[in-house]
Amino acid sequence: MAGLSKTEILLKGLEILSEYYSLGLDKPPLSLELKRLKEEALRYMEALKQIRRKEEALKEVVKEIRGVNEVVDKYGENPSALIQILLDLQAKNHWISKIALLWISERLRIPLSQIYQVVTFYKAFSLKPRGKHLIRVCLGTACHVRGGPKIMEAVERHLGISRGETTPDGLFTLESVNCLGCCALGPVMMVDDKYYGNLTPTSAVKVLDKIRRGESEK
């Protein structure tokens, strides 16, 4: 019945009604009966919507599981490949969903608790969806003595979020990183896979503004 339109449902209702009449069940006035039928039709539509939502959710789950399968097949069902599998998934989706964790646990035969321990131990993994652009401000020693914390503060102020958070529009996720290995160019910040060196608080903010402008033009 999934493909029925609103009018079709209404007509179907009237058809049933005509059967009522033919069976002599025409006691209540027609207007009341019509109202009742309309309500019934609405309830039916609501249920249909729910089913659709469930269908969508199921499709998501299937997609997620397919994605996990692809990665797991690359490494084989080897428990020692757990971290490599998680890294690939993280790189692909920018986060690791509950379903992915459950399915990895199923396929590698590793208890979920152990996977959860690994995911929360290492910094590379995120259990929350990340923004479109990942900003990593380096707070390594070389950057620290050259003003890395000031860059971080400026970015935090500019975006109105703290490190580890995502902007409400889902555009940026801000993180700190211990060292990007570009110490000679400190302070350094990385947006997605691009490095920006020799920053000042003002120039760091300009970089982000430019990305934001580029996004709104799209």
Partner 1 sequence: MTWRIRGKKMLEKIRSEILSRREPSKPCIAICVSTGCTSLGSLELVERLKEELEKRGLTDKVDLKLTGCLGFCELGPRLTIYPGEIPYFKVKPEDAEDIVSQTIIKGQIIERLLYVDPSTGERIRRLEDIPFYRYQYRLLLENNAKIDPKNIEDYIALGGYQALAKALFEMKPEEIVEEIKRSGLRGRGGGGFPTGVKWETTRNAPGEPKYVLVNCDEGDPGAFMDRALMEGNPHLVLEGLIIGAYAIGASQGYVYVREEYPLAVKNITLAIQQAQEHGLLGEDIMGSGFSFHVKVHRGAGAFVSGESTALMSAIEGRVGEPRLKYIHTAVKGLWDKPSCLNNVETWANVPYIILRGADWFRSIGTPDSPGTKIFSLVGKVKNTGLVEVPMGITLRDIIFKIGGGIREGKKFKAVQTGGPSGGFIPEQYLDTPVDFDSLTKLGSMMGSGGMIVMDEDTCIVDVTRYYVDFLFQESCGKCVPCREGLKQARKILNHICEGKGTMEDLETLQDLSELLRNASLCALGTTAANPIMTSIEYFRNEYEAHILEKRCPAKVCKALVAYYNNPEKCQACGICLRNCPVQAISGEKDIVHVINQDRCIRCGVCFAVCPFNAVEKYSPATPPPAKYGVKVVRRKKEK
Binding-site ranges for partner 1 (CB under 8 A): 78-84, 86-87, 110, 114, 117-118, 121-125, 139-146, 150, 153-154, 157, 177-186, 188, 193-197, 200-202
Smallest Cα–Cα separation from 139: which of 128, 150, 130? 150
> Least distance to partner 1 from the beta carbon of 11, Å?
59
Q: Collect all residues with Cβ–Cβ distance below 8 Å to 14 and sequence separation of at least 6.
A: 37
Nearest-approach distance from CB 171 to partner 1, in angstroms: 20
Token pair, residue 120, equals 């929360």
The least CB distance from residue 198 to partner 1, in Å, is 8
Nearer residue to partner 1 within complex by CB, 66 or 123: 123
Residue number with CB closer to partner 1 (20 or 125)? 125
Minimum distance between the CB of residue 206 and partner 1, rounded to whole angstroms? 12
Question: Between 69 and 78, whose beta carbon lies closer to partner 1?
Answer: 78
Q: Which is nearer to partner 1, 41 or 207 (CB)?
A: 207
Rounded least distance, CB 41 to partner 1, Å: 53
Nearer to partner 1, 3 or 214 (CB): 214
